Amino acid sequence: MMSASTYDQTKPLLVLKGVKKAFGHHQVLKGFNLELYPNENVVILGKSGSGKSVLIKCLVRLIEMDEGHIEVLGRSMADVEQDELDAIRTDVGFLFQGSALYDSMTVRENLLFPLRRHPGRMRGRSEAELVREALGNVGLEKAADLMPDELSGGMKRRVALARTLILKPKIILYDEPTTGLDPITANEIIQLILKLQDELMTSSLIITHDMDCARVISNRVVILQDGINYAQGTYSELARSTDPKVKAFYKEVQNPIDG
């Protein structure tokens, strides 16, 4: 098994080739292709129901794809056994849209939960030290003993981010990181993500329909439309695109009420 540290940094960390997924007769993904390179932030833009969440869930095998090839850190996800899959998953952080904090556990226990199951990730440091550091990174040092229901939406997202980062993953998948947050908190989360990525040198795949988030955070934007990677480029390249579908998409996402 190839560990993340021995992985060739010039190769893509994630490779998706011809990924297809259908639910009954509804074909959600019709052959999606993507590569994510080290230290890159790729934003996948798509309308609600376009299959963005399905795509990143296929990536970590929360949902099994029907056809295609997914490679994470050089390992084909289709071939791995459960133990190896768990090992890969510790290299791939996942920030859920609703934060998905364990609501029967305190913030501290939430952070310790993945750590205690992967003690090798503690790198000889104590649990208390790692929790303090993780909460310090997201500016919530005093929240360790609070329960999730005592936190605001923004705080929950920060704790979830701290929990994702505590295992020091190489890749982070963000499922709508700013959805449901007010603009100020959303901006704080975006800045926090950028700061932490800069410090930890992670690569990110962010799915969103928040154009501000995509503009600030992305090195590259991929538009998911009709189940395929319809267009890609930098945010400004796509904003200037003359392709009628891309133009219509940008217009619609930026002014959803006008259509």
Partner 1 sequence: MEFMDLQKIKSTVIYGLEETGHISRFAGRFFAQAFRPPFEWKEFFKQCYLIGYSSLFLVSATGFIMGIVLTLQIRPTMISFGAASYMPNMVGIAFIREIGPMVTALICAGKIGSGIGAELGSMRVTEQIDAMEVSGTNPFKFLVVTRIWAATMMLPLLVIAADFVGLTGSYLIESTRGDVTATLYFGRVFSSLVLGDVIPATVKTFFFGFVIGLIGCYKGFFSKKGTAGVGKAANSAVVLASLLLFLVDFLAVLVADIFYTI
Judged by CB, which is closer to partner 1: 100, or 216?
Answer: 100
Distance in Å, CB of 33 to partner 1, minimum: 23
| Site for partner 1, residues 160 to 199, rule: CB under 8 A | 163, 167
Question: Binding to partner 1 by residue 156, rule CB under 8 A?
Answer: no
106-109: long-range contacts, CB 8 A cutoff, minimum separation 24: 106/144, 106/145, 106/146, 106/147, 107/135, 107/140, 107/143, 107/144, 107/145, 107/146, 107/147, 107/148, 107/151, 107/159, 108/144, 108/145
Q: Is 173 helix (H, G, I), strand (E, B) or coil?
A: strand
Pull the structure tokens for residue 93: 């952080």
The only residue of 48, 67, 78, 117 in contact with partner 1, by rule CB under 8 A = 117
Question: Binding to partner 1 by residue 37, rule CB under 8 A?
Answer: no
Question: Binding to partner 1 by residue 96, rule CB under 8 A?
Answer: yes
d(CA 14, CA 75): 9
Terminal alpha carbon distance of the chain: 49
Question: Binding to partner 1 by residue 87, rule CB under 8 A?
Answer: yes
The only residue of 60, 65, 143, 159 in contact with partner 1, by rule CB under 8 A = 60
Question: Binding to partner 1 by residue 90, rule CB under 8 A?
Answer: yes
Q: Interface with partner 1 by CB under 8 A: which range of 86-94, 134-142, 208-216, 221-229?
A: 86-94
Run of H or E including 67: strand 67-72
Judged by CB, which is closer to partner 1: 26, or 117?
Answer: 117
Q: Interface with partner 1 by CB under 8 A: which range of 36-44, 72-80, 89-97, 131-139?
A: 89-97
d(CA 77, CA 64): 10
The only residue of 29, 101, 134, 135 in contact with partner 1, by rule CB under 8 A = 101
Q: How long, in residues, is the chain?
A: 259
Question: Binding to partner 1 by residue 106, rule CB under 8 A?
Answer: no
Helix axes 153-165, 183-200, angle to 10 degrees: 10
Residues at the site binding partner 1, with contacts judged by CB under 8 A:
57, 60, 62, 82, 86-87, 89-90, 92, 94, 96-98, 100-104, 113-114, 117-118, 163, 167
